[in-house]
Amino acid sequence: MSVATKIGTTKKNGNHRSTEPAAIRWLLTAIALLFLGLFLLVPLAAVFSQAFEKGVAVYLAAINEADSWSSIRLTLITAAVAVPLNLVFGVIASWGIAKFSFPGKNLLITLIDLPFSVSPVISGLIYILIFGRQGWLGPFLEGHDIKIVFAVPGIILATVFVTFPFIARELIPLMEAQGRDEEEAAMVLGATGLQTFFRVTLPNIKWGIIYGVILCNARAMGEFGAVSVVSGHIRGMTNTLPLHVEILYNEYNYTAAFAVASLLAFLALITLVVKTVVEWKVRQQMAE
Amino acid sequence: MSIEIQNISKQFGTFNALSDINLEIPSGELVALLGPSGSGKTTLLRIIAGLERADQGEIRFNGVDTSESHVRERKVGFVFQHYALFKHMTVFDNVAFGLTVRPRSTRPSKAEIREKVIKLLQLVQLEGMAQRYPAQLSGGQRQRIALARALAVEPQVLLLDEPFGALDAQVRAELRRWLRKLHDEIHVTSVFVTHDQEEALEVADRIVVMNKGKIEQAGTPDQVYDHPANPFVLNFLGNVNLFHGRLHQPGGEQHESGEHTVSYVRSHDLEIDRSQLDSTALKAEIKHIQKLGPSVRVTLAVAGSGEMVEAELTRDVFQVLGLQQGEAVFVRPRQVRVFVEDYQI
C-alpha cells in the first residue's frame, strides 16, 4: 500500500477514496462498451455476415474476379508509392521543424495539417483543377499526351496529399521532445550532417516512424473521397478497393460488395494488431 | 592550445547575451566561467565551441581565427549539462563515436579504436560498463562517460557546460575533485561553466565572473575572493552584509558611509562577543539562530540603525559562546570593504 493512501484515509478504504464509486465506474464502462459495440463491432460483424451470406464459394468467386484483382492491385500500388513518398517528406519536414529555427516555421506546421482540415472531396478537386483538361496545366499535359487525372498518377497524387500529415504529425512532437542535444554532441564529435542523421536522429525516431507508417498505410488503402473525384471510376483501370466496393454496391451486387469490403476490414484488423504490438514494444522500451 | 576571445558580442532578438567580451586563456589552463543565470556564460561557451555564432568579434585558437571553421572542424570536446549520450548505443559505441565517424582516410582501425575506448573507460573508472546502455547508468556514471566520449577525439580544448549541475551534492563533490585530478594529468585547455561559486573556487586555475553579458572580474580564486573588484563579485562569492553609517575598520581607519559609499563585510568576517572589545565593535541584538550543519548563521539587528546583518560562525565557536535568541551582544568586523562608485547589488 503506498504511503499516500495512509494520509487522511482509513486502512479499510485503501485506494478507493480517490476513485469514483463502483456504480459510476460500471456505468461509464458500460456506456463506452456500448458505444464501441454499436459503432465498431456491429458494422464489422455485418460486413462479414453479409459477405459470407451466400456461402464461402460465392465469397471467393466475388474476390477472384478480374476487376476485383485489378482494384486490389491498384490499391497496393497506390499505397506502395504514397507511403514511402510521405515517409521521406514527413521525416525531412519533421527534422527541419524539430531541429531548426527558421522564419515561417509555424506556417509550415499549419500547412502540414492542411489535408486534415480539408474535405477529401476538395482534396481530389484540387488535382482536377490543376491537372484536368480545363486546369492550369491542362493544355500542357494534353499537348504532351500525359494523363494525370482519371488515371493512376492522379490517384497516387490525391492519396499522397490526403495521407501526408500522418507521419509528420507523429514525428514532430517526438523529435521536439528529444531536443537537439544528441545532434549537437554528434556534430562536435566530428560527424557530418548525414552521419548525424542516420546514426543519431533516425534510430531515436524508429518507433515513431513505424507507427506513422502504419497509420499512413491504413489511410492510403482506405481513402475514398479524394480518390473518387480524381479516378473517373474506369472499371479495371482506375478503381481502388474502396471505389470497387461502391460500384458493386450501386449495381445491387451486395454479396460481392461486402465480400470485397471484408478485405478492407481484414486490413483494418491487421493494422490494429500491428499497432498494438508496436505500442507494446514502445512501452517496453520506455520502461528500460 | 590557447584561446583568445576578442570583442565578442551576441544578441538574441533584443536581449544582449554578451557585450564586448575580451578574454585570454593560455594553453593548459582550467578556467571557470562563473555567474548567475542569464549572465551569458553558456552562450560564450557555445560560441567558443562553434554551436552558436557571435554577432561581432573573433575567437582564435592558437592565434588562428576560427570564424570560418565549422563545429566539427574545431577539435573541441563538449560535455553537456544533461550528458547528451546517444541513448540507443552502448557505452562502448558512445565513447567510440567520435572515432568511427572520421573519414576513412583518418579513421583508426577497429583494433585501435577498441584499445582507445578501453583505455578511456579505465581512465573514468567504468571499464565494466562497456556493453551497458546509458539508461542503465547513474547520473554520475553517465557524466563520466560523456567526458570519456569528449576526450576520445583528443580535443585541443575541453568545454563543459555546468557538467555537474544535474547531479546530487555528494556525487557533485566527488566528480569535482575527480575533474581537477584529471586535468592535472591531462593538461588540456579547459573551460567550464558553473553558477556554483564553491565549485569554481575548488576546481579552477582562474575564475571569470560574469554578469549580464559582461566580465566583472577575471583572476585566480584567491584574487577573486580576497580582492573583489566590485560589490557584485564580492556578493556572488560569499554572503555579504551592507553597512550604511559609520564603521570603524580595525587598524584605526574610519569609514564614513555617505551617499556614495557602502561598507561591505563578509558573514564570516563578523565576530560576535559579549563584551565590547574595542571601538570597532557594534552593539546588536540576536534575532534568529539557524544551524546549517558545520556552521551556524546568526541574524542580528544593529542597535540604533536597526540594520539586519548575518554572521556566520563555526559550530564549535558557537557552542563555546552559547548564544541565545534575544541576547544583546557586540559584532566586530574583521575586514571591511568599501566601493566608491554608486553600485547596486
- ipTM comes to 0.81
Q: Which residues of A touch B85 (CB under 8 A)?
A: 182, 185
Rounded Cα distance, A163 and B321, in Å: 79
**C-alpha cell of residue B237:** 562569492
**C-alpha cell of residue B46:** 557555445
From A186, A191, A204, residue closest to B87, measured CB to CB: A204
Residue A6 has pLDDT above 50, yes or no: no
The verdict on a CB contact (< 8 Å) between A181 and B71 is: no
Which A-chain residues 175-194 have CB contacts (< 8 A) with chain B?
181-182, 184-192
The verdict on a CB contact (< 8 Å) between B72 and A182 is: no
**C-alpha cell of residue A49:** 455476415
Q: Which residues of B touch A203 (CB under 8 A)?
A: 88-89
Residue B259 has a pLDDT of 52
Task: Name the residue of chain B whose CA is nearest to A187's CA.
Answer: B72
The verdict on a CB contact (< 8 Å) between B51 and A184 is: yes
Return the H-helix or E-strand segment holding B142: helix B139-152
Residue B129 has a pLDDT of 87
Helix, strand, or coil (residue B15): strand
Residue B243 has pLDDT above 80, yes or no: no
Residue B86 has pLDDT above 70, yes or no: yes
Task: Name the residue of chain A whose CA is nearest to B82's CA.
Answer: A181
Count CB neighbours of A61 within 10 A.
Answer: 15
Percentage of chain B lying above the pLDDT 90 cut: 32
Task: Name the residue of chain A whose CA is nearest to B96's CA.
Answer: A189
Q: Which residues of B touch A199 (CB under 8 A)?
A: 86, 97, 101
Task: Name the residue of chain A whose CA is nearest to B95's CA.
Answer: A189
Residue B77 has a pLDDT of 92
**C-alpha cell of residue A218:** 491504413
Q: What is the mean pLDDT of residues A199-204?
A: 90
Residues 6+ apart with CB under 8 A from A265: A44, A47, A48
Q: Which residues of B touch A182 (CB under 8 A)?
A: 84-87
Quote the minimal CA–CA distance from B98 to chain A in Å: 5
Quote the minimal CA–CA distance from A195 to chain B in Å: 7
Residue B247 has pLDDT above 80, yes or no: no
How high does pLDDT run on average in chain A?
A: 84
The verdict on a CB contact (< 8 Å) between B72 and A188 is: yes
| B31 band by pLDDT with thresholds 50, 70 and 90 | very high
Residue A2 has a pLDDT of 45
Q: Is B251 exposed, middle or buried (0-12, 13-18, 19+ CB in 10 A)?
A: exposed
Rounded Cα distance, B118 and B131, in Å: 12
- On whether any CB of chain B is under 8 Å from the CB of A202, the answer is no
The verdict on a CB contact (< 8 Å) between B78 and A204 is: no
Helices and strands (DSSP H and E) totals, chain A: 16, 0
- Degrees (nearest 5) of the Cα angle A235, A237, A243? 55
Q: Which residues of A touch B153 (CB under 8 A)?
A: 189-190
Q: Strands B206-211, B30-34: parallel, antiparallel or unpaired by DSSP?
A: parallel
The verdict on a CB contact (< 8 Å) between A188 and B135 is: no
A vs B: CB pairs below 8 A: 63
The verdict on a CB contact (< 8 Å) between B78 and A185 is: yes
Q: What's the pLDDT tens digit per position in A34-74? A: 998 888 888 888 888 888 888 888 888 878 888 888 888 89
Rounded to whole angstroms, what are the CA distances from B106 to B97, B101, B200, B203, B290? 14, 10, 37, 35, 61
How high does pLDDT run on average in chain B?
A: 86
- Residues in chain B whose beta carbon is closer than 8 A to a beta carbon of chain A? 49-51, 71-72, 76-78, 80, 82, 84-89, 97-98, 101-102, 133, 135-136, 149-150, 152-153
Q: What's the pLDDT tens digit per position in A88-124? A: 999 999 988 888 888 888 898 888 888 888 898 998 8
User: Cα dihedral angle (A54, A60, A65, A69), rounded to 10 degrees?
Assistant: 130
Q: State the amino acid at position A144 in one-letter form.
A: H
Residues 6+ apart with CB under 8 A from A3: none
Return the H-helix or E-strand segment holding A254: helix A254-287
**C-alpha cell of residue B213:** 553579458
Residue B279 has pLDDT above 60, yes or no: yes
The verdict on a CB contact (< 8 Å) between A188 and B88 is: no
Residue B70 has a pLDDT of 84
Helix, strand, or coil (residue B308): strand
* Contact between B310 and B242 (Cβ < 8 Å): no
From A182, A195, A288, residue closest to B135, measured CB to CB: A288
The residue assigned the cell 482536377 is A128
Residue predicted with more confidence, B136 or B258: B136
The verdict on a CB contact (< 8 Å) between A288 and B88 is: no
